[in-house]
Amino acid sequence: MLLSHLVFSVFLSYTFVSSKHTITRPETIDPNELKREVRAHRETSAAVAFFAYRSGNLGISSRYGRTYRTIIYDRVDLNIGNAYNRHNDIVTAPSTGVYLFHVSTGVCFKSWAIIQLIQNGRIRDISMPDSSMNGGHFRNQATTSTPLYLVKGDSVYVRIGHAHAGQCIESNRDIRTSFSGVKIH
């Protein structure tokens, strides 16, 4: 039944109990207030889940890049609730609640990078995939899982931090660099 078709008065029973008398009287609820409550409930309980990844490597050598640049995830496999914006790679919280974010970043041989999860301009988590050790003959991948309390409109994204070296952040058939999240409460 559509809310617009509700009868204009909904009756709830309120009971007042005193030492000698019990009085029950119906209370009329404003239908517009009921609509606002239903809308607010739908907004706070709406599902949010996304999964995005890079379809190829991202150059990080001095000729490619600067520090503090947002990592572009060009493939979006899941975006329930449309919180993830594929045009700017920023998640905007559609409702207040607890969200869980997962960042997985691989680096090519002889490469490393500081990877930061940013909420409203503030660093919330950091990882450092580093394949420069042991002669740099191995790839490396770092992951983080970070629960964050977000208020509606808060923004979250992933960036390369203050330092990096080597050739690339790797994402291919062997290693996938990805960013995902889900609203959990």
For 93-150, how does the pLDDT look when each residue is reduced to its tens digit (9 = 90+)? 999 999 999 999 999 888 889 999 999 999 999 999 998 876 656 788 999 999 999 9
Encoded tokens for 25: 């009287």
Q: Which domains does the chain have, with CATH numbers?
A: 9-45 (no CATH), 49-183 (2.60.120.40)
DSSP string covering 43-101, please?
HHH---EEEEE-SS-EE-STTT--SS-BPP--EEEEEETS-EETTTTEEE-SSSEEEEE
Answer yes or no: pTM beyond 0.85. Answer: no
